Amino acid sequence: MKKTSIATALIAAWLASGLTEAAEITVISFGGTSKDVQTEAFYKPFERSTGNKVLAGEYNGEMGKIKAMVDTHSVTWDVVQVEGPELLRGCDEGLFEQLNTAAIGREEDFVPGTLSECGAGLLVWSMAMAYNADRLKEAPTGWTDFWDTRKYPGKRALRKGAKYTLEIALMADGVPRENLYKELATSQGVDRAFRKLDEIKRDIQWWESGAQPMQFLASGDVVMSTAFNGRVFAAQQEGANMGIVWNGSIYAIDSWAIPKGSRNKAVAEQFITFSLRPEQQKLHTERLAYGPTSPATASLLDPKLAAALNTAKDNLAVSVPIDNAFWVEHGEELEQRFNAWVAKS
């Protein structure tokens, strides 16, 4: 209740301050179902609460659009949803406004990594292990089982890319979660990850779109797969007996950012703060099952749903936060090596 009261007081203060005379802001997200849910959870309630208008748009994450607007001083977007690496690069390149995070809230009131210089996280998503519980006699418990082709014969699916795949290989080889990126930052660690992947290369079926893992599992093409947790939840909601393993899952945060030069920065920050309120995060989480960045949201959710989220205390404790700075620095070279490795028979 204390956290909720603080957020409510902040909104009230803004309303009373005169900073928020009726304005119109453009909020850009990734579209589809996500945009529909954001409209009901964030946009419409914000309009009712403040009198401001939200124009909702969508894009495919193209940073070039943001850069072009900033470089030509023709910024028409006020808030944009970005993934971690894009937020980091955009902030370094001066494409995003610095946020007054103190006005948004305290770091300790959010999932670690939610607040940064230029961004505020709106959801937590995970790359986790999924399996069809109808097809396995015994549930896997971690990446060691993923590599155990004797106990779990058959194909297993991995995302076709270095990111996530190399981390998973090292965890399967016994690297502790807390040492993961320290190991992967060395040439020996990279070699170790590829040697581990060599062990099951002939048993891997690669996926490239988020829908494929659930399709592979449902058809029996694979016995296990990496998957986005939201996809697993959607399959479960449709009645599929899909299981998920949080141990060793990798989580990331999508954030709101304000393009540099927005003429509505004050209202944009007000919107961001509003969307991080537990009451709004509840509505968002119930529909998409991506974790809320505000842990206080859990008390507002059905206990069964709260316990099944990637941000549930026990699940988050055995997960790994993705290191965006690592992938910004090393991603290109590792993806090139990965593609060359995949191409070799």
Strands 156-159 and 224-228: parallel
Task: With cut-offs at 50, 70 and 90, classify the pLDDT of residue 44.
Answer: very high
* pLDDT(15) > 80: no
Residue 10: per-residue pLDDT:
53
What value does the CA radius of gyration of the chain take, rounded to a whole number of Å?
A: 21
pLDDT tens by residue, 76-98: 999 999 999 999 999 999 999 99
* pLDDT(57) > 80: yes
- Whole-angstrom CA distances from 254 to 7, 43, 156, 268 are 20, 17, 27, 17
Confirm if 336 and 190 have CB atoms less than 8 A apart. no
| The two three-digit tokens of residue 313, written as one number | 């205390």
Which of 195, 186, 184, 181 is closest to 320 using CA atoms?
181
Mean pLDDT of 330-343: 97
- Share of residues in the chain with pLDDT > 90 (%): 90
Which of 219, 217, 221 is closest to 244 using CA atoms?
217
Residue 190: per-residue pLDDT:
98
Residue 344: per-residue pLDDT:
93
Which of 144, 173, 171, 169 is closest to 159 using CA atoms?
169
Beta bridge pairs of residue 121: 255
Residue 89: per-residue pLDDT:
96
Task: With cut-offs at 50, 70 and 90, classify the pLDDT of residue 20.
Answer: very low
Q: Whole-model pTM above 0.85?
A: yes
Residue 18: per-residue pLDDT:
45
Mean pLDDT of 286-290: 90
Q: What DSSP assignment string belongs to 311-322?
A: TSHHHHHT-EE-
Q: What DSSP assignment string belongs to 153-213?
A: -S-EEEESSSTTHHHHHHHHTT--GGGHHHHHTSHHHHHHHHHHHHTTGGGEEEE-STTHH
Residue 31: per-residue pLDDT:
87
Cα dihedral 227, 230, 234, 235 in deg (nearest 10):
20
Mean pLDDT of 293-321: 96
Residue 6: per-residue pLDDT:
53
* pLDDT(9) > 90: no
pLDDT tens by residue, 225-256: 999 999 999 899 899 999 999 999 999 999 99
- Whole-angstrom CA distances from 251 to 24, 119, 254, 273 are 33, 17, 10, 22
Task: With cut-offs at 50, 70 and 90, classify the pLDDT of residue 289.
Answer: confident
Task: With cut-offs at 50, 70 and 90, classify the pLDDT of residue 5.
Answer: low
Q: Which domains are assigned to the chain?
A: 2-124+252-317 (3.40.190.10), 127-250+322-343 (3.40.190.10)
* pLDDT(8) > 90: no
| The two three-digit tokens of residue 157, written as one number | 């699916």
Confirm if 219 and 195 have CB atoms less than 8 A apart. no
User: Mean pLDDT for the chain?
Assistant: 93
Task: With cut-offs at 50, 70 and 90, classify the pLDDT of residue 17.
Answer: very low
Residues 6+ apart with CB under 8 A from 13: none
